[in-house]
Structure 1
């Protein structure tokens, strides 16, 4: 029997939790890289078939770097109530926002580490990858929490949202710099759509209301379907007036991940993202929903390309333009430029890392020779691209943590990991 796409190749889960110390290093790890690299992704338990790649239990993979040494690797399942008790998301008593997989991303805010998935509550984790438990911010969070919150580099506040299957379909939330939930407000949309990501600029919140709509008629997998007639639009909400969202119609498309967004000198909003057409998105969704991969490669990257929207709040006009035609995903940039004009954007192809200079339009490609995970940018100096990129690269049954110079994508070092790390989603660097 042929395994479904999401249980094949480098998407195939690992069967257990392990730990290894004093990992082999090739090259020289900079002393400044002292901290932890964590990466989240779905990893069903042995014998489990979750029915969709997105539905596997969350597993964190962690590498501890310290003064030029790779001290340890360990991997741990996130012990959610779904994992430990087989709790149901929708049960006899209603929705259990803690019965989730916590399999998408991992962040740190107000000295707490959270594993995130967009369907429910965040799960707090320790620096050693032990699970503390679900967090609802002292009972104030009553919706799900996106896996892509945005921390304002000036105020330290954390902006996020949650979408649900019943009204309110989308709710905006704001955490203070010290981790208190201080504001929640409904953003009105007609239906529940899979709103995976959003953007924040200095003065606005940017929403992606796209035609991938909740559909209970979908049997198995995840209950969403492409509904072209729903239309596609981008919402712009002033951060000082949450009741005044302005909507811009755009061509039907889907976006999992935005790059950055900012306001230009004329007050227009510039948004960059990895954009799928309806056809390329449907092809990807079919594969990760269970059909066998005809190429036998279980490659996830494919179909999205770098795109830009320029939105004018005064005229109401929206300009759309393709910035490149190659297949890329997981755009990253220097986090302290969130919401402000930025020049460089890093993305990944299946076996490469691509650096975009958004001023010159130049793209620099660095082949990796294997399945390439999101490239996390770690700043070193004040220059926008002065720092390092961290990415887990897998070739066959071997994985390494690749460290590149972000200025020219040259090799700095690599850490050989004690096992294959399956393809996953998002990582983070937690400096000591």
Structure 2
């Protein structure tokens, strides 16, 4: 096995596909958890060594729960042209179907979509087989972000396509029935890397950091930290003419991959929150992602939760780091997406000196309390997905679902935690150690076609 860090340890690829049924459960699975946890991962085929972690082909892992039982686990490669070596760049330009499809999995209007931000989404069946590239009946002409946002009130799906070449940024909206109803170029955008964004009740919020297109970067992901690239937040009113009224606000240099949430406060200011890295943090993560010599650290070791408060009346942005714990993969109860939330969750990582460990973190934004469920020695949890409890009356009344990679046992488990106190409710033992991965979703049975 190659020494590339993203192909070793927790991230060692799975070599095959399998299906296992009637999984062993410790504790009691809540019967209301009826659906599928589906999680994506970068998982190149045996014998393939990508030049960058992000270039690894997508493999989805699914766990089916019903009536207090864990019915099955299965894993499948997303069968895109890129899985068989098709290039992204061709003599006719980018091939938007040549996707790794390895970043995220979502459901919208009954469709399961595996996502990678440089390409079209790929539709999957409920059993995780690949249907094919999906372009919203020919209406989608750009790539689709791996982090679309579903408005919990309207059911609309907001997403964007970004490119290192004009048009740099296009905003899209699909209605609750899955029809693409709006596409508009966003003026003033640049070639800055845009991986995630936010929506509020009244605005769409974009983030341009200090990482931007660099044709001299040959890892296959042509971006690098460049001091000349200004960092900015773009605030755009929602609606058909919103792009014409976007305003860009300068912020401190940095790079944010994932948004926790955004909302308008009582004073009409836009509050945005999420983990960010500085120049050194980006360098450490990038060196791990490409397997550079002397990397020395894991990714996310200088990733700290940051809050921006944008005041449209004054044009000023208040910006502050609000925690000194290295975290990534923020999540929340998505019923509160776009409005002020009290609780958010994240995964903690060791810092650049190796201190600290992996865990599931809960923040109480009202009291400032931080609670951590320690994962344990050599145990890496995946992004913690929040599932509301039946008849929930509180924001944190629900469950957190996370898949843990356990190196010492060479095994993985699905942990079901009480989202209120982070206590363990149940453990589902999986038939193999699942590759450390990126993002996923809980898909209730009622949401599938």
Give the alignment's TM-score, normalised by structure 1.
0.97
User: Is residue 287–residue 295 contact of structure 2 (8 Å, CA) maintained in 1?
Assistant: no
Per-residue displacement from partner, 1:70-122 (whole Å, max 9, x unpaired)? 111000000012114x2221112222100010000000000111000100000
CA RMSD in angstroms, aligned pairs only: 1.3
Question: How many Å apart are 1:190 and its aligned residue?
Answer: 5.1
Q: Distance in 2 between matches of 1:229 and 1:215?
A: 12
Per-residue displacement from partner, 1:253-299 (whole Å, max 9, x unpaired)? 0001010110000000111101111111111111111125766xx84
Question: How many Å apart are 1:382 and its aligned residue?
Answer: 2.7
Matched, 1:373 2:349: no
Paired residues for 1:62-141 under 5 Å: 62-84=62-84, 86-141=85-140
Per-residue displacement from partner, 1:31-64 (whole Å, max 9, x unpaired)? 0011100000100000001111111000000001
Matched, 1:17 2:14: no
Q: Distance in 2 between matches of 1:49 and 1:186?
A: 36
Q: Distance in 2 between matches of 1:114 and 1:149?
A: 11
Cα 1:189/1:87, change in 2 over 3 Å: farther
Paired residues for 1:205-354 under 5 Å: 205-240=204-239, 241-291=242-292, 299-350=298-349, 351-354=358-361
User: Is residue 281–residue 300 contact of structure 2 (8 Å, CA) maintained in 1?
Assistant: no
Question: How many Å apart are 1:188 and its aligned residue?
Answer: 2.5
Cα 1:181/1:282, change in 2 over 3 Å: same
User: Is residue 79–residue 131 contact of structure 1 (8 Å, CA) maintained in 2?
Assistant: yes
SS of residue matched to 2:286: helix
Per-residue displacement from partner, 1:360-385 (whole Å, max 9, x unpaired)? 11100110111111000000113100
Q: Which runs of 4+ in 1 moved over 4 A?
A: 292-295
Match for residue 203 of structure 1? 202
Correspondence for 1:357 among 349, 354, 364: 364
Q: Distance in 1 between matches of 2:181 and 2:431?
A: 43
Q: Distance in 2 between matches of 1:303 and 1:401?
A: 27
User: Is residue 26–residue 415 contact of structure 1 (8 Å, CA) maintained in 2?
Assistant: yes
Q: Distance in 2 between matches of 1:260 and 1:347?
A: 12
Q: Distance in 2 between matches of 1:362 and 1:260?
A: 18
SS of residue matched to 1:243: helix
SS of residue matched to 1:282: helix
Give the alignment's TM-score, normalised by structure 2.
0.93
Aligned length: 429
Match for residue 400 of structure 1? 413
